[in-house]
Structure 1
Amino acid sequence: MGNPYNISEEKIDDISLLEPEATYSYADYLKWSFEERVELIKGKLFNMSPAPRTSHQTISMNLSTEIKTFLKGKSCKVFAAPFDVRLPTKPDDPDNKILTVVQPDICVVCDTNKLDELGCKGAPDLVVEILSPSTAKKDLENKFELYEENGVKEYWVIYPGENIVEIFELKEGKYATRGKFVGSKTVTSIVLPGFELSLEDLFEE
């Protein structure tokens, strides 16, 4: 089988030099300097969508602002992409053993010990993904399972074209849907008690 970690000693500035079926680690990821944004999920390479659409960015800014305002003076922190979240198998795994690094559209981290200059090492408490045509399958399947396995307490999936928010809560290690919310509904968060968000404000252009 050989070495499962395909670690190059040199910087790579052309994504075409990568082997799509190879297994990569965070150590490899740190050596990549090409323009394309990518994520690693269990060692496999996933291309991110091109520059997000206007509706995507509007929703991201609206939600980030609402959460940031709510968190003023509190210990939890909110981050918007691009922001690397590394999900190691063990907390002390070195870079060449970390096979997953993703960039959620928005995440909230309440354990500040997980934060460093490179991003977050460990599961955020809340993750939000805003669907786009090219990432919907990844967000609804690969990332759903990934966040569930790694203990992300709450996962929001936002459907921009339909103005829908679906919220999943982690219960006994599995996600249970709290429902799909649409229209003039107000949604809340188990991770952020007291936080309320009007969907009209979220989808306001």
Structure 2
Amino acid sequence: MVNTKNLKNDADINTVVQPHLYVICDETKLDAQGAISAPELMIGLLLPGNSKKEMHYKYDLEQIAGVLEYWIVNPENKAIFIYFLKEGVFVGQHPLIEDDRMESPLFTQLDFKLEDIFN
């Protein structure tokens, strides 16, 4: 079940959010101004002052929009939380920490040690 308690109305679903990084593989999802549809991969950084927004509001918006894979990166704790869309609902993987190896569920070519990006 999608948590929509933070969404005021349908207009909020069309709200443009500013991701830290996103990947779009389908060129039809782009126009001259940028993305016109949900990206396949969205990556958000937890930074001082935005944690609440990333952890709740953006999570809900990305899930409703149909983002296939959503990462929340916590640079301070050197951790990544990975969610992938399954039947319209985000499913979370075990949180990854600095000593772990990252393997993307959607982009199988993304396979790296977290210590390589946090150090």
Q: Tell me if TM exceeds 0.5.
A: yes
Tell me the TM-score normalized by structure 2: 0.86
1:144 paired with 2:59, answer: yes
AA aligned opposite 2:65: N
* Residue in 2 that maps onto 1:109: 24
| Cα deviation, residue 195, structure 1 | 1.8
Identify the structure with bigger relative contact order (alpha carbons < 8 Å, sequence gap 6+).
2
Name which one, 1 or 2, has greater alpha-carbon Rg. Answer: 1
* Residue in 2 that maps onto 1:170: 85
Contact 2:98 2:118 (C-alpha < 8 Å) held by counterparts = no
**Which segments of structure 1 move beyond 3 Å, counting only runs of 4 or more?**
none
| Cα deviation, residue 194, structure 1 | 2.4
AA aligned opposite 1:146: L
* Residue in 2 that maps onto 1:86: none
AA aligned opposite 1:171: K
The 3-state SS of whatever aligns with 1:162 is coil
Q: What is the percent sequence identity of the aligned residues?
A: 34
1:184 paired with 2:96, answer: no
Tell me the TM-score normalized by structure 1: 0.51
Separation in structure 2 between the aligned mates of residue 128 and residue 147 of structure 1, nearest angstrom: 10
* Residue in 2 that maps onto 1:194: 109
Post-superposition Cα deviations, 1:77-120, rounded to whole Å, max 9, x if no partner, equal: xxxxxxxxxxxx7xxxxxxxxx4111100101011111122110
User: How many residue pairs get matched?
Assistant: 109
Gaps of 5+ in 1: 1-40, 43-88, 90-98
AA aligned opposite 1:188: E
| Cα deviation, residue 191, structure 1 | 2.2
| Cα deviation, residue 193, structure 1 | 1.8
1:160 paired with 2:75, answer: yes
Gaps of 5+ in 2: 1-10
Separation in structure 2 between the aligned mates of residue 112 and residue 196 of structure 1, nearest angstrom: 24
Separation in structure 1 between the aligned mates of residue 59 and residue 38 of structure 2, nearest angstrom: 13
Post-superposition Cα deviations, 1:13-58, rounded to whole Å, max 9, x if no partner, equal: xxxxxxxxxxxxxxxxxxxxxxxxxxxx81xxxxxxxxxxxxxxxx
Aligned Cα RMSD in Å?
1.4
